[in-house]
Amino acid sequence: MKKILVINGPNLNMLGIREPDIYGKQDYEALCEYIDECAKKLDIAVDIFQSNHEGDLVDEIQAAYGEYDGIIINPAAYTHTSVAILDALKAVGIPAVEVHLSDVSKREDFRRISYAGLACEEHFIGLGFEGYKKALEWFVK
């Protein structure tokens, strides 16, 4: 059975409250339940981690070394700023897929840059919760 780690960055724990026009009305718990359900159907073992702190995200990526077959990452705002997260993904060399709920290509210019995305083999952007499902499916293909 494949072991996949899902990593979610800052403010994703505020889903349902934060900018519902952009991120939807469902809360973070609903996202985690959705990911768990999708993983079960695909026969994937999944762990989900969320933090608002850049260093904690780096620590979690490092700790995944030798433990997981893949990483699904939505670094949230750190997508557009964090070379540390990019370097951590490169350091562990675990196949990674980038997910964003919203279509970052159609928002502010600064959201068009993705550092973490440079270390990711696939990207599912602007599909809402379904992006995580597509990312899980990518790992079984």
Minimum CB separation from ligand DQA for residue 138, in Å?
17
Residue 73 pairs in a beta bridge with: 7, 98
Which residues inside 77-96 make contact with ligand DQA, applying CB under 6 A? 77, 79
Amino acid at 65: Y
Q: Tell which one of 4, 85, 101, 116 touches ligand DQA (CB under 6 A).
A: 101
Is 34 assigned a catalytic role? Answer: no
CB-based contact 98:76 (threshold 8 Å): no
Q: Tell which one of 64, 74, 116, 133 touches ligand DQA (CB under 6 A).
A: 74
Among 100, 66, 102, 98, which residue's Cα sits nearest to residue 85?
98
CB-based contact 6:72 (threshold 8 Å): yes
- For ligand DQA (CB under 6 A), the number of binding residues is 10
Residues that bind ligand DQA (CB under 6 A): 11, 74, 76-77, 79, 100-102, 104, 111
